[in-house]
Amino acid sequence: MAKTRKREEVKKEDTWALEDLYASEQLFEEDCGRLAGMIEEFPKYKGRLKEGSGVLLEMLEDYSGMNKLFEKVYVYANQRLHQDMGNAASQKSAASTEVWMDKMNAAESYMVPEILGLPEELLAEYCREERRLEKYRHFLDEIFRQKPHTLDERSEEILAKVGELAKASSNVFTMFNNADITFCPVTDEKGKEEPLTQGRYTAYMQSADRRVRKEAFANLYQGYAGFKNTLAALYEANAKKTAFYAKMRNYGSSLEAALDDSEIPVAVYDSLIDSVHGHMEPMYRYMRLRKKVLGVEELHMYDVYVPMVQEVDMKVSFERAKEIVKEGLAPLGKRYQALLQEGFDSRWIDIYENENKRTGAYSWGAYGTHPYVLLNYQESLNDVFTLAHEMGHALHSWHSDQEQDYIYAGYRIFVAEVASTCNEALLIRHMIENSRDKQEKAYLINYFLEQFRTTLYRQTMFAEFEKVTHEIVDEGGTLNAETLCGIYLDLNKKYYGTDVVSDEEIQYEWSRIPHFYRAFYVYQYATGFSAAIAISSRILAGEEGALEGYFEFLKGGSSKSPIELLRLAGVDMAGKEPVEDALEVFEEYVGKLEKILAGGQREI
């Protein structure tokens, strides 16, 4: 294995251009000084909003300017840290920006209660009198929309101060899951005993050796089972915290409170679950195909991740990856192609792994400069899809930044994965349709189907688990290990069907899901995936207005509610159609894979 390079050994052209944010350390420090002054000055508007429209405008302009400058400082410091996590100077800079965040949040904490203290008729008069307030109309409307759930200044201050305490269950779980829990080792395919870690688990579950998969599966869940009561107490504590905040803010349920921030009706959540329930048969059919192709008498939970098709050896250079992504995204038009090329040519991307570089991939950036993408490119097919995915995020941000003022440029989580997943959907369908190799085509279809299984079905199962368990707490009930395991095992049986053995160990899976500590978050993966499939299908079908509507969505930022923004792209997430249409695409591709794999051979 090649030795991982030090940061200073990486070619400049393979790194991102952080100098586009700050050309020198001095300029960064100067902005930190400016930010400190803005934070110190901001409380000067407290108690003054009734003086006139000019004071309100000045406060909102300063609020926007302060947050915009903070974003630039914060992004620069943290991206510089992420390229070399071992750099002491970068660690110090990034830590200092966390302090600035706390100070800024404290300095602006009076703002919303003060705005809500204005009579609505006076605010309307201000907006008529000062036309420059018009751009803040949606921002102000959002504040007043939340008025029934906003407390008095003293209560808000108390809730803010207990925020750190409220993170306890999440923080304890994170430390336990990442640092403390250990698992019995696994004997690999060559008979060598190897450690089992969170990072290695997926690789073991994709092993062609069934014994390895079974051993890894049993050992992992044996580890969690040993702490089932502690983990149940943590889960219940987090659910109680969520219920506490919902009740304090006058919501009818924890679910309603979680969804309201993004203006998502509870009916959307329920509709997702109902739609998936109505399309379980394609999933059962997919599992029957898996059972047949693997040639096993019983299909167990440790068999659902192993590739059904022999992996295609596709070593893809980064230069070739850029070409493949551009080819796959050609339906988005020449302008989008030009922006992709600009990102490739202008060092938006930090491409390769180096020593102490942050793992994984993301897109980030600050308003007023181009977006950035962090990769750890390893020349695999999966890395090609990651490039398309992250450039989807990047160009969503680019379009939003170009069209919107800073205050509306950011987009909400509900729509955050749509553009990135739309890119992946366009790319995979392009590769499937253009593949002339039978094995490669089967491999790509299987890859696509796994996205449906793990994102649409699995995340909806998680969402249903959260709904059931949080309702118990909302109604004053308690959650223990037996209850949680029973609910989870029943759901696993429902979602995988009778052709899959729901092994006893799978009942503990709820105890290892980090996202459960951010309540009612995971459903957005399923809805975002469904919206992306719907949009990509409309674009590929050449529907009139599909492309234009999609770009209107990309430009929208947070200027409208997520539901309204997606309607611009021709997708109405308030109805069942997008989810049901996505599930029909899944069924279509199950049929295609069945035809290619007719006869059940693993090698084609």
How far, rounded to the nearest angstrom, does the alpha carbon of residue 153 sit from its chain's CA centroid?
Answer: 32
Contact 425, 536 (CB under 8 A): yes
Which residues form the catalytic set?
390
Q: Which residues pair with 350 in a beta bridge?
A: 374
C-alpha to C-alpha distance for 65 and 59, rounded to whole angstroms: 10
C-alpha to C-alpha distance for 206 and 305, rounded to whole angstroms: 6
C-alpha to C-alpha distance for 141 and 515, rounded to whole angstroms: 30
Q: Is 107 helix (H, G, I), strand (E, B) or coil?
A: helix
Closest CA to 466 of 519, 505, 398, 428: 519
- Record the tokens describing residue 318, joined without a space: 């980064």
C-alpha to C-alpha distance for 280 and 580, rounded to whole angstroms: 11
437 burial (CB, 10 Å; 0-12 / 13-18 / 19+) is exposed
C-alpha to C-alpha distance for 220 and 199, rounded to whole angstroms: 12
C-alpha to C-alpha distance for 258 and 272, rounded to whole angstroms: 16
Beta strands in 320-390 (DSSP E): 349-350, 362-364, 372-374
C-alpha to C-alpha distance for 104 and 84, rounded to whole angstroms: 27
Distances (CA, A) of 528 to 147, 330, 414: 28, 22, 7
> Is residue 463 within a helix (H) or strand (E), and if so which, with residue range?
helix 458-474
Contact 524, 413 (CB under 8 A): yes
Longest dimension (CA), the chain: 80
Contact 551, 569 (CB under 8 A): no
Question: At how many degrees (to 10) do helices 318-328 and 381-403 cross?
Answer: 60
C-alpha to C-alpha distance for 561 and 559, rounded to whole angstroms: 7
Contact 380, 316 (CB under 8 A): yes
Contact 375, 390 (CB under 8 A): yes
